[in-house]
Structure 1
Amino acid sequence: MKFVSDPAPDCVLPAPEREYRIRSADGHQVHAEAFGPEGAPLVVLAHGWTCSIAFWAPVIRQLAGDYRVVAYDQRGHGRSGTPATPAGYSTAKLADDLEAVLAEVVPAGERAVLAGHSMGGMTVMAAADRTGVADRTAAAVLISTGAGDLVAELKVLTVAVPGTKLALHRMLLSSRLPLGRPNGLTAAALKYATMGLDTPADRVAAVVRVVHACPTRVRYRWSQVLATLDEYHQLPRLAAPTSVIVGTRDRLTPPVHAQRIAAALPDPQGLLQLAGVGHMAPVERPAEVAAEIRRLAKIGAVADAGVTEGSVAE
Structure 2
Amino acid sequence: MVKTVDVLGFPHAYELFAPTDAPTDMPIVVFVHGWLLSRAYWQPVIEQLAGNYQCLAYDLRGFGHSQNFPNSAPAAQALPQNLTELDLTEPVPETVVQRTAVSVASPTSVAIDHPTLNREASSGASGSVPVSLPDQTAADQAEISSNRYTPAAYAQDLVHLLAELQIKKAWIVGHSLGGSIALWAAHLAPDTIEGVVCVNAGGGIYLKEEFERFRLAGEQLVKFRPRWLSYLPFLDLLLTRINVYRPIARRWAKQRLQDLLVANAEAALRSLLDSTTEAEVHQLPQVVAQLQQPVHFITGQKDTVMEPKYVRHLASFHPSFEFCGHNVSEISDCGHLAMIEQPDVTVAEIRAVLEKYSA
Give matches, 1:296-311, under 5 Å: 296-302=353-359
**C-alpha displacement at 1:103, in angstroms?**
2.1
- 1:29 and 2:11 equivalent? yes
2:275 to 210, 226, 231: 226
- For residue 128 of structure 1, give the secondary structure of its aligned residue in structure 2: helix
Q: Which residue of 2 aligns with 1:246?
A: 299
Code of the aligned partner of 2:170: A
In structure 2, how many angstroms separate the alpha carbons of the residues matched to 1:106 and 1:34? 12
TM-score (norm 2): 0.67
Question: What one-letter code is carried by the residue in structure 2 that aligns with 1:170?
Answer: R
Question: CA separation in 2, counterparts of 1:210 and 1:90?
Answer: 20
Aligned partners of 1:248 and 1:276 also within 8 Å = yes
Name the CA distance, whole Å, in 2 between partners of 1:296 and 1:104: 27
Whole-angstrom CA distance in 1 between matches of 2:231 and 2:320: 42
> How far is 1:45 from its partner?
0.7
Query: What letter corresponds to residue 238 of structure 1 in structure 2?
Result: L
Equivalents in 1 of 2:260, 2:50: separation in Å?
24
Task: Please tell me the residue identity of whatever aligns with 1:218.
Answer: A
Contact 2:32 2:173 in 1 (8 A): yes
Gaps of 5+ in 2: 73-145
Identity %: 26
TM (norm. structure 1) is 0.75
Query: Match for residue 142 of structure 2?
Result: none
Separation in 2, partners of 1:69, 1:124: 15
State the match for 1:260 in structure 2: 313
Q: Deviations over 1:113-162 (max 9, x none)?
A: 210011110101223321xx211122211011124447x39xxxxxxxxx
Q: Is the 8 A contact 1:32 1:70 kept in 2?
A: yes
- After superposition, where does 1:202-217 map in structure 2 within 5 Å? 202-217=251-266
Q: Distance in 2 between matches of 1:83 and 1:134?
A: 31
Other-structure match for 1:59: 45
CA distance in 2, matches of 1:253, 1:216: 24
Q: Which sections of structure 1, spanning at least 5 residues, go unmatched? A: 1-14, 154-162, 303-314
Is 1:39–1:68's contact at 8 Å kept on the other side of the alignment?
no
Provide the rounded CA distance (Å) in 1 between the counterparts of 2:335 and 2:29. Answer: 24
How many residue pairs get aligned? The number is 269
CA distance in 2: counterparts of 1:264 and 1:52, whole angstroms: 29
The alignment's C-alpha RMSD in Å is: 2.7
Kindly indicate whether the alpha-carbon contact (under 8 Å) linking 2:20 and 2:51 is maintained by their aligned counterparts in 1.
no
Give the whole-Å Cα distance in 2 for the aligned partners of 1:181 and 1:46. 25
